[in-house]
Amino acid sequence: MSHHPEAFSPDATDLASLVACPSCDALYRMPRIAAGEDAVCQRCHRVIAAPRHRAGMQIISLAAASLVLLAATLFFPFLKISAAGVHNATSVLDVVLAFTSDELAILVLFTTACILAIPALRMGLLLYVLVPLVFDHPPSARARPAFLLSERLKPWSMAEIFALGCAVALIKVRDLAEVEFGPAFWMFAGLVFLVLQVQRNLCSRSVWDALEAATPDAPPTAATQEHLT
Amino acid sequence: MMADTPIPTTKEAGLLGCRYCTRVWPSGTKTCGCCGSKLVSRDLQSLQKVWAWWLVALICYVPANLYPMLRTSTLGSVSQDTIVGGAITLAEHGSYFVAGVILLASVVIPILKFLAIAYLAISVARPSTAREGTRHMLFELVEYIGRWSMIDVFVVAILSSLVHLGNFASVEPGPASLTFALTVVFTMISAQSFDSRLIWDQQEFEKDTDRAH
């Protein structure tokens, strides 16, 4: 079920109760929405807030699980290939190190970042920000810049694109050799699923509300923060 | 549809909206008190940034198509495939679907993305007749789909690390893999630099002219 926020009326003076659509700048009074409902911009249909029931705890468990999977993925064989009696197995680390010739060294960095470092960093940052909030502790030091960084890194986390790339690569070498998935491939597929679940549960407006509410001198603005925990 | 109840914007209300945490601040505020982002009512340099990254991306896209993406050696014979050449080879082997995916991700999407970003940047700089909602959807599509072009770079990375079978077969990345990756990165930055709020400002011009009449 989706709500349209109530249009701004000029007599409102309390800025904390207002919300600006980040995509089209439409101004609204923040509606009180229940967990599971979405606040959607009337003009450009961007989702402004989408609090989910017990989202904080779910994100913490999903992020922790994805970090474990990510670490395990590194060391197990990812794909195995054999042709004419010759075998080769490759791990995610090998894939990342494929671009080792000098002129392509920058691609090593970039591929590592997109498929390993950024997904891991984002999950780590979310844990760092959310664990104190969910367990009613004072927010972590520099929790706000940490969450902002996690938000800005979102488009650069490309684990799901890499997973589809595996399928394409597999079909490309099908004629040349026999290829099979190693255990790390299934772990990586699980990781992609977990990261997408984190995304489904994460409502950044709720996190900002909770961060503001947890800072003593900030005015109480939280309309959605109660759904986080 | 919504013409009878126009939705006010933070700009019209003399306020500033944060593009990261949706908080609203009085105009003149420099940084968002909630998330610490820089606050700008409209990013006036936005279009310059968009065009700069767009041009760099276009420059990188030329060698990305001319140089080989992959060097494949099988039993002593070496073949070098460009993006389009690789897709043609796949189609010749009967893998029409994968050839289609590669062509879509590496040729059709990048070209459409170049055209879409250019169209959006031009459309906000002069009066446009296209509906705001349509243009906004185009922008969201460009932002969402653009990343998927990276798939070809990842395929090259996977093949180069996987296919090491001694003299029988081996695959190495070609120079186009770097320039193509750069093309994708720069078009992503170009699209991210675009201030989508500019699309909706023209609605306000129209509102203003309506009021004047």
Structure tokens at B93: 């082997």
ipTM tops 0.90: no
Please check whether residue B84 is in contact with residue B107, taking contact to mean a CB–CB distance below 8 angstroms: yes
pLDDT (tens, 9 = 90+) of chain A, 229 residues, equals 566 666 655 444 577 788 889 888 888 888 788 888 888 888 888 888 888 888 889 999 999 999 999 998 888 888 888 877 777 788 877 777 766 666 677 777 888 889 889 999 999 999 999 999 998 888 888 889 999 999 999 999 999 998 888 888 888 787 777 888 888 889 999 999 999 999 989 998 889 888 888 875 544 444 444 444 4
Question: What residues does A26 pair with on adjacent strands?
Answer: B9
Residue numbers in B near A204 (CB within 8 A): 20-21
Q: In this predicted structure, what is the pLDDT of residue A129?
A: 93
Q: Does B99 fall in a domain?
A: yes
Q: What pLDDT was estimated at residue A225?
A: 45
Domain hosting residue B35, numbered range? 8-41
Structural domains counted in chain B? 2
Bridge-based pairing state of the strands A38-40 and A2-3:
parallel
On whether both B68 and B22 belong to a single domain, the answer is no
Q: Looking at residue A74, what is its pLDDT?
A: 85
**Does one domain contain both B135 and B198?**
yes
Is B14 domain-assigned? yes
* Identity of the residue in A23, A99, A173 whose CB atom sits nearest the CB atom of B163: A173
Residue A146: per-residue pLDDT: 94
Asked whether residue B113 falls in the same domain as residue B161, the answer is: yes
Tokens read off for B45: 């340099």
Rounded-to-integer distance, Cα B130 and Cα A8, Å: 26
Please indicate whether, in this complex, the C-beta atoms of B102 and A168 are within 8 angstroms of each other. yes
Across the interface, of A7, A23, A171, the residue whose CB is closest to B98 is A171
What's the pLDDT at A1? Answer: 52
Assess whether B64 and B133 both reside in one domain: yes
HSE value, Cβ hemisphere, 13 Å, CA-based, for A1: 6
Average pLDDT over residues B162-168: 74
Kindly state the tokens that stand for A121: 């960093």
Can you name the residues that pair with A20 across neighbouring β-strands? A27
Query: For an interface test with B, which of A48, A154, A162, A172 has the most B Cβ atoms less than 10 Å from its Cβ?
Result: A172
Reduced to 3 states (helix: H, G, I; strand: E, B; else coil), residue B81 is strand
Quick one: DSSP state of residue B6?
P
What token pair was written down for A154? 């979102």
A12 and chain B in contact, CB less than 8 A: no
Mean pLDDT of all residues in B76-80: 80
Same domain? For B26 and B61 the reply is no
Is residue B195 one of the residues assigned to a domain?
yes
Q: How many CB atoms lie within 10 A of CB A85?
A: 8
DSSP lists the bridge partners of residue A143 as none
Q: Do B184 and B151 share a domain, yes or no?
A: yes
Same domain, B179 and B134: yes
Mean pLDDT estimate for chain B: 84
B1 in a domain, yes or no? no
What pLDDT does B168 receive? Answer: 75
Residue A223 pLDDT: 46
Q: Does B115 or B168 have the greater pLDDT score?
A: B115
Of the candidates B210, B23, B152, B123, the residue with the CA atom closest to the CA atom of residue A218? B23
Report, as an integer, the average pLDDT of B56-74.
90
Question: So what's the pLDDT on residue A13?
Answer: 56
The answer on B200 and B121 residing in a single domain is yes
- What pLDDT, on a 0 to 100 scale, did the predictor assign at position A221? 47
> What are the pLDDT digits (tens) for B106-153?
888 899 999 999 999 998 888 777 788 889 999 999 988 888 888 888
A86 and chain B: CB distance < 8 Å anywhere?
Answer: yes
Same domain, B34 and B117: no
Q: For residue A223, give how far its alpha carbon lies from the nearest alpha carbon of chain B (Å).
A: 12
A202 neighbors A57 (Cβ within 8 angstroms): no
State the pLDDT at residue B183. 93
- Could you identify the residue written with the tokens 């700009």? B11
Tokens describing residue B80: 């070098």
Backbone φ and ψ for B9, nearest 5 degrees, come out as -110, 165
Determine contact: B68 vs chain A, CB below 8 A.
no
For residue B2, is it within any domain? no
State the Cα–Cα distance between residues B33 and B24, nearest whole angstrom.
Answer: 10
- Would you say residue B58 lies in a domain? yes
Cβ–Cβ < 8 Å for B132, B199:
yes
Partner residues linked to A18 by β-bridges: A29
CB nearest A7 (choices: B8, B192, B200):
B8
Instruction: Show the 3-state SS of chain A.
Output: CEECCEECCCCCCCHHHEEECCCCCEEEECCCCCCCCEEECCCCCCEEECCCCCHHHHHHHHHHHHHHHHHHHHHCCCEEEEECCEEEEECHHHHHCCCCCHHHHHHHHHHHHHHHHHHHHHHHHHHHHHHHHHCCCCCCCCHHHHHHHHHHHHHHCCHHHHHHHHHHHHHHCCCCCEEEECHHHHHHHHHHHHHHHHHHHCCHHHHHHHHHHHCCCCCCCCCCHHHCC
pLDDT of residue B41: 82
**Mean pLDDT computed over B147-161:** 86
Residue A115 and residue A91 in contact, taking contact as beta carbons nearer than 8 Å: no
Specify whether B132 is located in the same domain as B157: yes
Q: Do B175 and B81 share a structural domain?
A: yes
Identity of the residue numbered A106 = I
Q: Give the lowest-confidence range in A180-189, A190-199, B60-69, B89-98.
A: B89-98
The answer to whether residue B17 sits within a structural domain is yes
- Taking the C-alpha atoms of residue A65 and residue A126, their distance in angstroms, rounded to an integer, is 13
Q: Are A56 and A68 in contact (CB under 8 A)?
A: no
The answer to whether residues B82 and B36 belong to one domain is no
Tally of CA atoms within 13 A in the half-sphere of A96 that contains its CB? 16
Q: How far off is chain B from A15, nearest CA to CA, in Å?
A: 6
How many other C-beta atoms are found inside a 10 Å radius of the C-beta of residue A115? 28
